[in-house]
Amino acid sequence: MPRILPAPDALLGKRFDVVIAKMMGVSRSAAAVLIDSGQAKLVGRTSDKSAKIAAHDMIELDIVEEAPEPEPIDTTMPILYEDEDVVVVDKPVGMAAHASAGWTGPTVLGSLLGRGVHITDYGAAGRQGIVSRLDVGTSGLMLVCKSELAYKEMRRQFSEHEVVKTYHAVVQGNLTQDRATIEAPIGRDRVSDFRFTVTPAGKPAVTHWDVLERFSEATYVSVNLETGRTHQIRVHFSSLGHPLLGDSMYGANPRLAEATGVERQWLHAKKLEFKHPRTHVWTVVESSIPADLLHALDVLRGRAEQRANEQ
């Protein structure tokens, strides 16, 4: 329904497009579109965008709200475990856990709902049922709760670090130890708040790792998280001078990533172990390594073998 408003006193004498931009909180070019389309006009006189606003002018607004584009649904995302309480999916790379500002791709939550999977209403709006997340650039296992009972119990298990989360990762360089623990607090980077860093002001974070295979220029490891901080594995290995292969945000060598064909950080949530929220049976779900990450491993093995033959 159109709204008719008096011209703001503070904007008298200004161009019409400037007035609309200020009133609507949009750019002047967006305001010009509203004027040209007739969604914003001056009552009783020519509504040119360059018209100067005078005292007693009335402005009519009839804004057409554009319906948001529907979220794309991924119908191929594997569901590796499901019952009346929980569903465990094998999240592909390039998918977000849930919708967020600026994200236009598929999400785990949206795809499950779009495929008719019932999810509990418990949790923040748009994040219901989610008790643990994976980065967009990380593939692997993610658990979503279908019942109220599961949400409350699994949230407790994750917060008290009772869930065993095993990741596989490839880090740059040759780790000096076969097994070790990284214990260093993690917080937001002061310069770039979308990044995280090891800082005394951060939250406690503990990462355990075991070497699976060595390639001299990189190391294949199994990682267990005792805590679940954002970007924890990526930040901890970067702090040791061994960023994840392909992880340019945290200092990875782009040439090695290009040579191995990796277009994201080499990180996969491989295994999830938890006590079932209803039956209390210890439950284990395991995922296979995706093809792009397997290809990178094959390239690294080939490069290591070639160097060994040349020596």
* Nearest CA among 66, 28, 70, 69 for reference residue 49: 28
Mean pLDDT of 172-193: 93
pLDDT at 69 over 80: no
The answer to whether residue 16 is domain-embedded is: yes
Mean pLDDT of 227-237: 94
Final residue of a domain: which of 132, 158, 184? 158
- Domain holding 37, by residue range, is 3-61
Q: How far apart are the first and last CA of the chain?
A: 79
pLDDT of residue 67: 62
- The single residue of 57, 90, 135, 247 carrying the catalytic annotation is 135
**What backbone phi and psi angles, to 5 degrees, belong to 56?**
75, 5
Asked whether the predicted pLDDT for residue 235 surpasses 80, the reply is yes
Q: How many domains does the chain have?
A: 3
Q: 9 with 103, same domain? A: no
Residue 15 has a CB neighbour count (10 Å cut-off) of 18
pLDDT at 221 over 90: yes
Residue 45 in domain: yes
Q: What CATH number is attached to the domain comprising 87?
A: 3.30.2350.10
Per-residue confidence (pLDDT) for residue 68, from 0 to 100: 64
Q: Which helix (H) or strand (E) holds 306?
A: helix 291-310
Average pLDDT rounded to a whole number, residues 258-279: 97
CATH of the domain at 40: 3.10.290.10
**Cα 309 from Cα 198, distance rounded (Å):** 39
Share of residues in the chain with pLDDT > 90 (%): 73
On whether residue 200 sits in a domain, the answer given is yes
What mean pLDDT is predicted for residues 37-60? 89
Contact indicator for 32, 19 with CB cutoff of 8 Å: no
pLDDT at residue 126 above 90? Answer: no
Q: Residue 48 — very low, low, confident or very high, per pLDDT cuts 50/70/90?
A: confident
Asked if residue 248 belongs to a domain, the reply is yes
36 annotated active-site: no
DSSP state of 161: T
Average pLDDT over residues 284-298: 97
